[in-house]
Amino acid sequence: MTTDNIHAARQLIAEINNPTERQRWAWWTPGDATRYHATMINAAPSATKVGTAPGGTFRALVITIDMFTLRPTSIVIPRPTADLDRYTAEEWLFRRFPGGWWAGVRPLLAALGWTPTTDRDTSYRSTDHRDITTAQRDPNANR
């Protein structure tokens, strides 16, 4: 675990994507004026999801903001199970993730290979908000 702010997506993934018995996390500061707490987990599906995912557990990226408040906000982003499930702005919204987090989290998804092969740029792009805005207007455009 590191308390330093990491600015490079590949560096952050290298820091947290090592299955060990101790907790691995890091601070992700991509450039969007937000500091994210990031960790990777192996998660077991809930009772309502048993049988819907291959295998017994699945890998997930957990991102949290507002760590030091009474109510921190977290999202659990499961590894895509198929190429069609890879994360695009449209898929992000389809899964009901907060649109405002897309630009900050997308570089990590790209570093993990969880985005389409045509979008593996791991640098923070302030223009990613345009993709979310477009997807919010027409959610089925690229699904």
Q: What is the pLDDT of residues 21-48, one digit of tens each?
A: 566 888 999 988 888 999 998 877 666 6
The model carries a pTM of 0.80
φ and ψ at residue 119, rounded to 5 degrees: -135, 75
Helix (H, G, I), strand (E, B) or coil at 129: helix
Backbone angles phi, psi at 125, to 5 degrees: -120, 115
Which tokens belong to 87?
A: 């994360």
Give the Cα separation of 134 and 43 in Å (integer): 32
**Residues 109-125: tens digit of each pLDDT:** 999 999 999 999 999 99
Q: Over the stretch 65-107, which tens digit does the pLDDT of each residue have?
A: 876 788 889 999 999 988 888 999 999 999 999 999 999 999 9
